[in-house]
Amino acid sequence: MLEKEIFQIRQKVSKWKKKGLKVGFIPTMGALHDGHLSLIKKSVETCNKTVVSIFVNPAQFGPEEDLEKYPRALMQDLELCKNAHVDLVFAPDSKELYGEEQISNNFFTYVVPPYFYIDKLCGKTRIGHFDGVCTVVAKMFNIIQPDFAFFGQKDFQQLVIIKKMVQDLNFPVEIVSCPIIRDKTGLALSSRNKYLSEEQTKDALVLNKILANIKSCYQKGIIDAELLRETAFSFLNECHELEYLEFVDKETFEEKKEADNNTIVLIAAKINEVRLIDNCCIV
């Protein structure tokens, strides 16, 4: 079920498509957890065939980021995929996708999202990140040609940007948005949680606590985004480095000065150098 070459994956998927089978696709960077598995489950339930890609994409990491130490667990991931009834896992190396170990000097064509979508939130600090994401997802869509692709709301900005890319560039794929999966304490699952010690995992709960508190303040009638943002500070201590806490409209993606029922609140913070993100709808 594991394929590493574009040629092989294309052959297999095209056989399915000739038979009229619907193909679901879940792009991932591996180190799979229950968040990824929820996307896989949805695909297995709704499509005839499910393809998962596992690729730690160098194009979406900045020079100071954690590309080298990003968790890799291919054998374990394959086992999880097998148990989840995945039909194919596409795990190419960088050479297969970009021509060299990292990105070859001969790779030039990037998909660059509109400025409006990247001048905020993660795009502000992770310069070029969404160019890398869109480029690899566009490549994967061209290679796999899925009918449906499943993305988590955990990476809300990514989801919005991918939907826009698909619309603007006419990819014949339907993007399916899937809810955030959390552990029993409320922490949003993330491959990067593996970096956290037990103590730091408790510190990481601050993201969810801040969001839950903002939601409850909104429900009590506070709508001013600045006032809502200020409520976060009582939760933060020296272990937490808040990167952003923003309010945007979930449809238009415009920043909100006053929260309303269409508002989504997004947060990014470093917990002892581990950068985590989370978000929630305010109603």
127: its two tokens: 């310069």
Nearest distance from residue 32's CB to ligand AMP, in Å? 8
Nearest distance from residue 71's CB to ligand AMP, in Å? 10
Write down the catalytic residue from 33, 36, 85, 129.
36
Single out the segment in contact with ligand AMP by CB under 6 A; choices: 35-43, 99-107, 119-127, 168-176.
Answer: 35-43
Strand partners, 182: 188
User: Closest CB to ligand AMP belongs to which residue?
Assistant: 152
In whole angstroms, give the CA distance from residue 33 to residue 160.
Answer: 22
202: its two tokens: 């408790």
In whole angstroms, give the CA distance from residue 207 to residue 278.
Answer: 7
Nearest distance from residue 45's CB to ligand AMP, in Å? 15
> 55 vs 247, which CB is nearer to ligand AMP?
55
> 190 vs 208, which CB is nearer to ligand AMP?
190
203: its two tokens: 């510190």
Q: At what angle do helices 156-168 and 129-144 cross, to 10 degrees?
A: 60
Q: Please, which of residues 177-196 interact with ligand AMP by CB under 6 A?
A: 178, 180-181, 188-191
Nearest distance from residue 25's CB to ligand AMP, in Å? 11
Q: Is the dihedral of CA 227, 232, 235, 240 positive or negative?
A: negative
Pair type for strands 23-28 and 240-249: unpaired
Q: Is there binding between residue 36 and ligand AMP (CB under 6 A)?
A: yes
For the window 126-165, what string marks contact with ligand AMP as x by the rule CB under 6 A? -------------------------xx-xx----------
> 9 vs 176, which CB is nearer to ligand AMP?
176
Q: Is there binding between residue 52 and ligand AMP (CB under 6 A)?
A: no
Nearest distance from residue 36's CB to ligand AMP, in Å? 5
Q: Helix, strand, or coil here: 68? A: coil
Q: Is 36 a catalytic residue?
A: yes
Chain position carrying tokens 């939907």: 163
Interface residue with ligand AMP, options 13, 29, 166, 277 (CB under 6 A): 29
DSSP for residue 189:
P
Size of the site for ligand AMP (CB under 6 A): 17
For the window 160-179, what string marks contact with ligand AMP as x by the rule CB under 6 A? ------------------x-
In whole angstroms, give the CA distance from residue 155 to residue 79.
Answer: 25
Q: Is the dihedral of CA 122, 90, 100, 164 positive or negative?
A: negative
In whole angstroms, give the CA distance from residue 89 to residue 20.
Answer: 20
DSSP for residue 191:
G
Q: Is there binding between residue 50 and ligand AMP (CB under 6 A)?
A: no
Residue 26 in contact with residue 35, Cβ under 8 Å? no
Q: Kindly list the residues in this chain that would bind ligand AMP in the complex (CB under 6 A).
A: 28-29, 35-36, 38-39, 151-152, 154-155, 178, 180-181, 188-191
- Please list the active-site residues: 36
